[in-house]
A and B are shown apart, each in its own frame.
Chain A
Amino acid sequence: MSADSDIRAWAAGLPAPEFDTTAWTTPPPLAGATVAIVTTAALHRRDDEPFGPFDVGYRVIDRTDRDLVLGHWSPNFDREGFALDLDVVFPIDRLEELAADGTIGAVAPHHLAFAGNQDDTVTKVRLDTAPKAAQQLRHDGVDVVLLTPV
């Protein structure tokens, strides 16, 4: 997997924001938890505003949405997996199965997508859009967030 190895090595060397500590929230038991997916794959609904380059915003995806577009600007990852199966990036059907068998408490009514390609400090995401997203998720009763990249 040399192309991916090269891309991983390159990505590993990119500047990243620094955090002195790790914030920590203890979740309720998973069987009672409401779970949301937040992906950085820049997914959006067909009629949503597309992601611009270095877009710091996020798009809301309803629990029932499946007609999603991969709007990420980076060409450095496989697209065929997503074309074949939405769940390999955004495992919404897997979450529904886990809710049906009682492994998780509930699937959140809304899920979110950010764009993973950001500037080096991600200041606006940290200070503005991510806190707003967190409030929205809390408003929906979310306890646990599954973060997925591409």
Chain B
Amino acid sequence: MCALAHVFEAHGLATVALVAVRPVAERMHPPRALYGEFPLGRPLGVPGDAAFQHDVLRRAFALLERPEGPVLEDHPEVIEFSETPLACSLPPRYDPDVPEAVDEARALRDAYERSRAARDGRTSVGRVAEAAAVPDLVAAFVAIAEGTPWDQAGLPGDPISAAHDVRTYYEEAALDLVDVSPDPGAAEAWFYESTAGGRAVLAARKAMQDAGVPFAFWFYMARATR
């Protein structure tokens, strides 16, 4: 993003960047940057809080009045958050003939659809599979975890994109199952730690690592810190 600032500025566009990693902005010195110590993935700070978002924009646009640069300033607020898994109910076992994770993914479908409808249809599921096929992705991850080579498990695309679709399906479903706006770490922790689907993705990732599959095929199936 800092590289874009340099190129745009050289082409006659004035830029101001909201930056998420301060040392990178220090090294790359874009013309005008505002660092916000906000949860990664939330550069405007707080979802659903127009006043907070306007405060970020006001401070960013104020940098356009500086006569020279580069200028890097900090937003005064630091947003702390919990990584305690979201307290979110999970469905009871329904079909004992399929793995627990597949049963669970199927049962979350209605919650996912309600959540999507509440956002006028907006969803980030669909990189390799639509919601109806997410239980099949989960079944493939269970098979990989149990020893099936990843490229013979029936995934319709690469495992990183499939893991994205599963995680996003669960996290969007969770928005329908809780009444609070989840802390940034909470939904991710809930998916990987509390759900059978998340555990299946992590187990598949570990099995791929143990089988000597190249790093690029499994590492980004979950946060670098997992």
B16 at the interface (CB under 8 A from A): yes
Find the residue from B9, B43, B83, B224 having the highest chain A CB count within 10 A: B43
Chain A proximity of B118: nearest CB distance (Å): 10
Interface residues of B in 180-226 (CB under 8 A from A): 181-182, 184-188, 220-225
The number of chain A residues with a CB under 8 A from chain B is 80
Interface residues of B in 25-65 (CB under 8 A from A): 27-31, 39-48, 50, 53-54, 57, 60-61, 64-65
Total A-B pairs in contact (CB under 8 Å)?
267
Interface residues of A in 1-51 (CB under 8 A from B): 1-4, 6-8, 10-12, 14, 16-19, 22-27, 30, 33, 38, 40, 46, 50
Chain A proximity of B12: nearest CB distance (Å): 5
B81 at the interface (CB under 8 A from A): yes
B77 at the interface (CB under 8 A from A): no
- Complex Cα distance, B91 from A67, in Å, reads 29
In the complex, per-residue mask of A78-89: 1 if CB is within 8 Å of any chain B CB, else 0: 111111111111
- Complex Cα distance, B224 from A57, in Å, reads 25
Interface residues, chain A, CB within 8 Å of chain B? 1-4, 6-8, 10-12, 14, 16-19, 22-27, 30, 33, 38, 40, 46, 50, 53, 66-71, 73-89, 91, 93-95, 97-98, 103-104, 114, 116, 122, 125-126, 130-131, 133-135, 137-138, 142-150
Chain A proximity of B221: nearest CB distance (Å): 7
Chain A proximity of B137: nearest CB distance (Å): 15
**Which B residues lie within 8 Å of A38 (CB)?**
4, 8
The number of chain B residues with a CB under 8 A from chain A is 85
Chain A proximity of B193: nearest CB distance (Å): 12
Closest 9 interchain pairs by CB?
A77-B41, A27-B14, A85-B47, A78-B41, A134-B11, A78-B184, A12-B23, A77-B40, A23-B9
In the complex with contacts A83-B175, A137-B13, A89-B60 CB distance below 8 A: no
In the complex formed, the residue of B with least CB distance to A8 is B21
CB pair B124–A82 under 8 Å, yes or no, is yes
In the complex formed, the residue of A with least CB distance to B45 is A88
**Which B residues lie within 8 Å of A122 (CB)?**
3
- Complex Cα distance, B188 from A78, in Å, reads 7
CB pair B119–A125 under 8 Å, yes or no, is no
Q: Known pairs A130-B3, A147-B4. 20 more at Cβ < 8 A?
A: A4-B40, A7-B40, A12-B21, A18-B28, A22-B30, A25-B13, A30-B65, A33-B14, A40-B1, A73-B161, A73-B220, A78-B41, A80-B175, A85-B47, A88-B47, A130-B4, A133-B8, A144-B13, A148-B43, A150-B43
In the complex with contacts A12-B24, A22-B31, A91-B44, A148-B160 CB distance below 8 A: no
Chain B proximity of A131: nearest CB distance (Å): 6
Contact of B42 among A89, A125, A147 (CB under 8 A): A89
Chain B proximity of A24: nearest CB distance (Å): 6
